Amino acid sequence: MENQEEILKRLDGRTEFEKTVLMAVLKIPKGKVSTYKRIAEIIGKPRAFRAVGNALHKNPLASIIPCHRVVRSDGRIVGETIGEIEVRRRMLLEEGIPIEGYRVRLSKEILY
């Protein structure tokens, strides 16, 4: 895995906000999830949860930065297409995340 400095270099051309969001999401460990709102709070912009979603939508390093680990506050897994949602759902299941339908069963144990 690349170090944070190398990842930041690969994010050149992104806004500072996007970089901050992506680097915060990079820290979510396997087997944990966060919400768009929690990421906004972590980066000190508690009302920017929609902007967090937009930044993740533009994630150029999806194979490195685990945006599939970020869900809505109600636990719903989201994406642009049904196929994208299915891929995220499968990845979360493989990481041991409890899911019912297309919602993560959020709990203190799995929230980052």
C-alpha distance from residue 73 to each of 9, 55, 106 (Å)? 31, 17, 9
Catalytic residue among 28, 67, 70, 77: 67
Query: Is 92 among the residues known to form the active site?
Result: no
Backbone φ, ψ for residue 71 (5° rounding): -125, 170
How far is the C-alpha of 112 from the C-alpha of 35, rounded, in Å?
9
- Name the CA dihedral angle for 95, 100, 101, 103, rounded to a multiple of 10 degrees: -70
Contact between 16 and 60 (Cβ < 8 Å): no
Report the C-alpha gap between 47 and 53 in whole angstroms.
12
Q: Which residues participate in catalysis according to the annotation? A: 67
